[in-house]
Amino acid sequence: MSGKEIDIGLHVLDHQLLDKDGRRCGNVDDLAIEGGVGEVPEVVAILCGPGYWGPRAGLVGRLAGWIGGGRKVRVPWSEVCKVDSAVELKRGATELGLGRGDDRVRPYMDKIPGAGR
């Protein structure tokens, strides 16, 4: 990532994550930012998963996160290849630990005839 300036709050946070094959694999639920007093803060990772909802929305977020299973996935910022209307990643979702819910539900759906129509 380099080049044009982007507003992290508006153009990254809460955006759709797409893996290298264009698969939807989560949203940017939070960002890990490093940098002490007087330093330029730097985004080091995208935080994804219901486990990160609590800090963002208090009790409601914690409840929603608990219902959602509380999983936390940390994707280093170096894995980001492009920030467009979605945040596009350099590798596949499974490799990065993303989209696991869909992968877990799929075998059950597949047991019902016609799932692959």
Q: How far apart are CA 20 and CA 105, in angstroms?
A: 21
Strands, DSSP E only, in 35-108?
Answer: 42-48, 73-76, 80-83, 87-89
Residue 1 contacts other proteins per CB under 8 A: no
CB under 8 A: which stretch of 33-41, 71-79, 82-90 binds other proteins? Answer: 82-90
- CB of 37 or CB of 109, closer to other proteins: 109
Is residue 7 helix, strand or coil? coil
Q: Tell me the C-alpha distance between 72 and 79, whole Å.
A: 17
Size of interface with other proteins, in residues (CB under 8 A)? 40
User: Least distance in Å: CB of 72 to other proteins?
Assistant: 14
Mask for 5-44, x = binds other proteins (CB under 8 A): --x--xx-xxxxx-----xxxxx-x---------------
